[in-house]
Amino acid sequence: MRERERTKRMNNFILYITSIILTFSYVQSLTVWPKPATTTNSGEIYQLSDQERNFDFKATGYVSNTLDEAFERYNGIIFRRNNMLQKARNLNSKIVLDEDSIINGVDVNVLTNDLSLTLETDQAYTLSIGSPRVQISAQTVYGAMYGLETFSQLISREGFVNGTKITDKPRFQFRSSMIDTARHWLPLETIFAHLDAMAYNKMNVLHWHIVDSQSFPYCSYTFPTLCEEGAYTQTHLYHREDVQQVIDYATNRGIRVIPEFDTPGHVQQGLITIKNLLTPCYDTKTGKPDGTTGPLNPTLDSTYNFLTQFYAEIKDVFPDKFVHVGGDEVSFACWQSNPEITKFMKAHPNITTYAELESYYEVQLLEILKKQNTSYIIWQEIFDNGVDILPDTVVDVWKGGGWEAEMGRVTSAGFHSVLSAPFYLNYISYGLDWTTYYSVEPTNFTCPTDGPCDKSLVGGVEQCMWAEFVDATNFLPRVWPRASAVAERGWSQENVRDLVEAQVRIQEFRCKLIERGIPAEPIANGGSGGEFSYCDQEWQPTYRTPWN
Amino acid sequence: MRERERTKRMNNFILYITSIILTFSYVQSLTVWPKPATTTNSGEIYQLSDQERNFDFKATGYVSNTLDEAFERYNGIIFRRNNMLQKARNLNSKIVLDEDSIINGVDVNVLTNDLSLTLETDQAYTLSIGSPRVQISAQTVYGAMYGLETFSQLISREGFVNGTKITDKPRFQFRSSMIDTARHWLPLETIFAHLDAMAYNKMNVLHWHIVDSQSFPYCSYTFPTLCEEGAYTQTHLYHREDVQQVIDYATNRGIRVIPEFDTPGHVQQGLITIKNLLTPCYDTKTGKPDGTTGPLNPTLDSTYNFLTQFYAEIKDVFPDKFVHVGGDEVSFACWQSNPEITKFMKAHPNITTYAELESYYEVQLLEILKKQNTSYIIWQEIFDNGVDILPDTVVDVWKGGGWEAEMGRVTSAGFHSVLSAPFYLNYISYGLDWTTYYSVEPTNFTCPTDGPCDKSLVGGVEQCMWAEFVDATNFLPRVWPRASAVAERGWSQENVRDLVEAQVRIQEFRCKLIERGIPAEPIANGGSGGEFSYCDQEWQPTYRTPWN
């Protein structure tokens, strides 16, 4: 008996020691992506209540549907990521911290009822992890959701979490992802998954390059032929209800949806069905139309009538105050070939070059938007061409060569800039490339010699996934986690740039994305050289054969 | 009444004309990938019986489970690819060809009962499409399956098919895909989907680079510590039953499974648990072991004892007569540092260089395999080092620089060669790259000046997907349809190399892969420039959120 008692005690002691070691090993490595502004660790270890039903999310400030739905999501993320916590809870039954260390819920204090999403939206939050309640406080529900996201990342698979106080806010207000649904169409499921991944990365703008010359999947209720004739097929469409679903899904996650209808270039499919809109190109030898079309015809009233009606609809369908009007890469060859355009320029002596003709077009377009009280983001060419733009205009700097100088010129002129140029993720290469995006510093430019510039006008960063070679088969693993590098550059403080430290966190974060259903691809070689890029829980594909 | 009758007749006439136009438009574009050797078209159009139950597959020659299971699969592929034919059949109710044009089944005549899979397996078939029965004839069930695959690709989504006679056989006997499950592990579901895609591409060898220095997921029953200690985790494993499932799945599709256990280099995880197997490396300054290990120790009997036992197990687990023994990229630094190895070399005056020591190792290893009656594929270094190899050895030519000269040397020495060098699909870049692989001509080399070479010894081609940056999240869209370019180069005749014609077929084939559940990525820019790289039926992702 004595022997048995001694063995039992020894076993209990071993269990106790093991539990402490295990507990620490569960908790020690958990990190947040993108990295918060300030984090302090109390040294305490807490444990989530081991039953999902004994854990609750409570609004202690302003309530909203947005917050309620966020509670639903984070309950799932914390307790049901692929049922792994279910397994973990069995483990927990062996390692239970004392009652003082149990967390039974989260109190979320939203201090205002402002549900708007703009460049000025307050996105800051504070998070205090302790027992029995975690405390999150924020000016807006969107800040509060970022607090929930941070908290969710800190909980180990077994339900342990460090005592942590975090004060956090984004460095840049505008952290965007551009998707292109014209070169290849994307199903709504893929867009939804992408929006979730953006929320996990605290990104807040979906720049939806929805149409282009290749196809026009946006179904306009004013001009139904645009998608009826301009989409690849009548299954490659975004009806108004589809667009509304994307907007709702995004808004619920603090993400603005800014559509781009690029003009006067990058146009063909769909718009070709509108009479007198695209410029007919002429064969320079025969002097006759050659059957092709070029950019919008800037010389006709019908063009501006179309734009007035079309943008009135866009204002109705998309709630954001901003649209992206494009304006990049306008080819002049077709305008040059067209005798009507030549005649128009002769009749307007102040338009002597095609760049001036392009500016003439943009002036009219922006005047229409001004009258409709719509603000605009522009690709940099419109700014470069000296078009008169409204003070709240955001200039999207995309040209790879010399973006630093351009950032200087834009901010020196007093406009907000968004930096896309170094973040074109459609360019791929063998090997690790997230470090390239991560190492960019958006404020690393000198102001022009002719004037000062205000670096606080750097509005943010935007990763672009142009869809030349991307569709639903490969979109998500190609974007994630490479875009996470851009997300942290946009959110975290300027001094967060240690690649070795970031490597550990982004690797951990990739596995969290996989647990949440996002097929984020590996960003490091397998186990060699001390790097471990496998995940404890790997991606679980579902393969549906045609015969089963 | 008369008016109504006239309208009805007119409607019927319009329906008739429409049906002819639609029928032709359904059928005209259907093509086969990889392109068959000879195809003749009768000009007739046939229609599959519009009810799945009125269509049957019948063995008119030798029967086998392999053939029965192929019938199951192709029934699914033809009639149930994502339920699209279901929709199509409703359409068919309006367009019905006359009774003479209805096909009610396929007769498959397998002329031998040889179920072995070797470099000599007869893979030829003939296919004759007509009513009421399609005829397929082949020496082996594997040839017959290729006939079924070709037939399935020619049927339009609406069930129409051209009267076609095809005589077909592969140009090269060995058409391989190398997967690497050591740098990143792949779940069985991904391997199964890959094997299906290989079968659709008429590829017939899975070269399974199953272990490497990074991890050892293969669970050996002789040496259980290999995977217990060497796998990333105890979920990153291939148990014997898993391996058997892969072999069964592959064999059923005419695909050989050739495992690679690379030695003496590319070793660490797992093998480090075997005493006296890996070479201890020494610190050249202190003259003491530095705690790291290098290649297998070629000087110890224990090494060869291990290999004897291990390869006896491999022969038991993997039915193919061949194993791939690796032998690439052996680093000499560790051997150089080790005083025991220096001593051994001094005691063996015929071993004066480390290359000779490497050859000494290979001679012993290959002798073990010879005794076990196992044949081998080797990476080119073993051949390059002049090791005595058996006449049936296959040399895998992988070095990028100068593969043409190497192919000349290998075939001149009388050995079968397999060309991997230009087909490393893990190297990615922006833009269209399938054309690069497609344009390679494996026999485009000159024989060495010191002797003739026999180009019929070019055994085939192998595409490699090294897994430095690839796992289940991105494997399938990264491999397919880029590997299809290699597949057609391996199967089709030498003169099949028109990129414009192939572009149309590979685009059509990509969409067929998607219909069959393989997420094959786009290989061309969206609709611009007359290229259309969308699919009528796009990839349908299933997105599982953690909260639903």
Q: For residue range A191-228, what is the model confidence (pLDDT) as tens digits?
A: 999 999 999 999 999 999 999 999 999 999 999 999 99
Q: What is the pLDDT of residue B91?
A: 40
- Contacting residues of A for B512, CB less than 8 Å apart: none
- Contacting residues of B for A533, CB less than 8 Å apart: 184
Q: What is the pLDDT of residue B364?
A: 97
Question: Is a pLDDT exceeding 50 seen at residue B93?
Answer: no
Q: Which 273-312 residues of chain A touch chain B by CB within 8 A? A: none
Token pair in block for residue B122: 């007869």
CA–CA gap between residue B312 and residue B236 (Å, rounded)? 24
Asked if the C-beta of A184 comes within 8 angstroms of chain B's C-beta atoms, the answer is yes
Query: What's the whole-number mean pLDDT along residues A17-32?
Result: 61
Q: What is the pLDDT of residue B80?
A: 75
Q: Which 64-93 residues of chain A touch chain B by CB within 8 A? A: 72-73, 75-77, 80-82
Question: Is a pLDDT exceeding 70 seen at residue B95?
Answer: no
Peptide bond into A34 cis (omega under 30): yes
CB contact under 8 A, A183 and B527: yes
CB contact under 8 A, A522 and B233: no
Question: Is a pLDDT exceeding 70 seen at residue B84?
Answer: no
Closest CA to B299 of B347, B332, B251, B257: B347
Regarding predicted confidence, which is higher, A43 or B50?
A: A43
Question: Is a pLDDT exceeding 50 seen at residue A36?
Answer: yes
Query: B506-526 pLDDT, tens per residue?
Result: 999 999 999 999 999 999 887
Peptide bond into A132 cis (omega under 30): yes
Regarding predicted confidence, which is higher, B87 or B314?
A: B314
Token pair in block for residue A541: 């594909």
C-alpha pair distances (Å), B261 with each of A46, A255, B217, B326, B376:
46, 50, 12, 6, 11
CA dihedral (A399, A400, A401, A405) positive or negative: positive
Instruction: Using pLDDT thresholds of 50, 70 and 90, give the confidence band for residue A451.
Output: confident
Query: What's the whole-number mean pLDDT along residues B524-545?
Result: 81
Cβ(B97)–Cβ(B45) below 8 Å: yes
- Contacting residues of B for A233, CB less than 8 Å apart: 534, 536
> Model's pTM, two decimal places?
0.94
The one-letter code for the residue type at B370 is K
Q: What is the pLDDT of residue A9?
A: 64
Residue position matching structure tokens 């953690």: B546
Question: Is a pLDDT exceeding 60 seen at residue B104?
Answer: yes
Q: What is the pLDDT of residue B453?
A: 85
Query: What's the whole-number mean pLDDT along residues B42-59?
Result: 86
Asked if the C-beta of A533 comes within 8 angstroms of chain B's C-beta atoms, the answer is yes
Query: What's the whole-number mean pLDDT along residues A47-72?
Result: 91
- Contacting residues of B for A467, CB less than 8 Å apart: 526
Q: What is the pLDDT of residue B96?
A: 65
Q: What three-state secondary structure class fits B37?
A: coil
Q: What is the pLDDT of residue A89?
A: 47
Query: What's the whole-number mean pLDDT along residues B488-500?
Result: 97
CA–CA gap between residue A153 and residue B107 (Å, rounded)? 59
**CA of B55 vs chain A CAs: smallest distance (Å):** 15
Work out the number of other CB atoms within 10 angstroms of the CB of residue A444. Answer: 10
Query: What's the whole-number mean pLDDT along residues A233-256?
Result: 98
Asked if the C-beta of A539 comes within 8 angstroms of chain B's C-beta atoms, the answer is yes
- Contacting residues of B for A513, CB less than 8 Å apart: none
Q: Which 461-500 residues of chain A touch chain B by CB within 8 A? A: 467-474, 476-478
Q: What three-state secondary structure class fits B163?
A: strand
Closest CA to A41 of A158, A166, A147, A144: A166
Regarding predicted confidence, which is higher, B84 or A374?
A: A374
Q: Which 230-249 residues of chain B touch chain A by CB within 8 A? A: 232-233, 235-236
Query: B320-372 pLDDT, tens per residue?
Result: 999 999 999 999 999 999 999 999 999 999 999 999 999 999 999 999 999 99
CB contact under 8 A, A235 and B538: yes
Q: What is the pLDDT of residue B466?
A: 97
Q: Burial, A337: exposed, middle or buried (Cβ in 10 Å; 0-12, 13-18, 19+)?
A: buried
Asked if the C-beta of B349 comes within 8 angstroms of chain A's C-beta atoms, the answer is no
Task: Find the catalytic residue in A72, A329, A367, A468.
Answer: A329
Q: What is the pLDDT of residue B85?
A: 47
Query: What's the whole-number mean pLDDT along residues B134-146?
Result: 98
Q: What is the pLDDT of residue B343?
A: 97
Which residue in the set A184, A523, A532 is minimally distant from B526, CB to CB?
A: A184
CB contact under 8 A, A525 and B468: yes
CB contact under 8 A, B545 and A76: yes
CA dihedral (B111, B113, B119, B123) positive or negative: positive
CA–CA gap between residue A370 and residue A502 (Å, rounded)? 43
Where would I find the beta strands (DSSP E) of A35-104?
Answer: 38-48, 56-59, 102-103
Q: What is the pLDDT of residue A366?
A: 97
- Give me the DSSP letters along B47-107: EE-SSGGG-EEEESS---HHHHHHHHHHHHHHHHGGGHHHHHHHHHTT----GGGEE-EEE
Question: Is a pLDDT exceeding 60 seen at residue A28?
Answer: no
CB hemisphere CA count around B316 (13 angstroms): 11
CA–CA gap between residue B235 and residue B242 (Å, rounded)? 12
Query: B224-271 pLDDT, tens per residue?
Result: 999 999 999 999 999 999 999 999 999 999 999 999 999 999 999 999
Give the strand pairing for B125-128 and B133-138.
antiparallel
Q: What is the pLDDT of residue B14?
A: 60
**pLDDT cut 90: percent of chain B above it:** 82
Question: Is a pLDDT exceeding 60 seen at residue B92?
Answer: no
Residue position matching structure tokens 């209808």: A261
Question: Is a pLDDT exceeding 50 seen at residue B481?
Answer: yes
A329 a catalytic residue: yes
The region of weakest confidence among A93-97, A455-459, B83-87 is B83-87
Closest CA to B317 of B250, B253, B242: B242
ipTM: 0.93
Cβ(A115)–Cβ(A66) below 8 Å: yes
CA–CA gap between residue B184 and residue A538 (Å, rounded)? 10
Query: B169-178 pLDDT, tens per residue?
Result: 999 999 999 9
Catalytic machinery residues of B: 329
Regarding predicted confidence, which is higher, A13 or B120?
A: B120
Q: Which 193-222 residues of chain B touch chain A by CB within 8 A? A: 193, 196, 212-215
Q: What three-state secondary structure class fits B4?
A: helix
Query: B406-417 pLDDT, tens per residue?
Result: 999 999 999 999
Q: What is the pLDDT of residue B316?
A: 98
Query: What's the whole-number mean pLDDT along residues A235-244?
Result: 98
Which residue in the set A80, A534, A541 is minimally distant from B547, CB to CB?
A: A80
CA A335 to chain centre: 36
Chain B residue with minimum CA distance to A519 = B473
Work out the number of other CB atoms within 10 angstroms of the CB of residue A252. Answer: 18
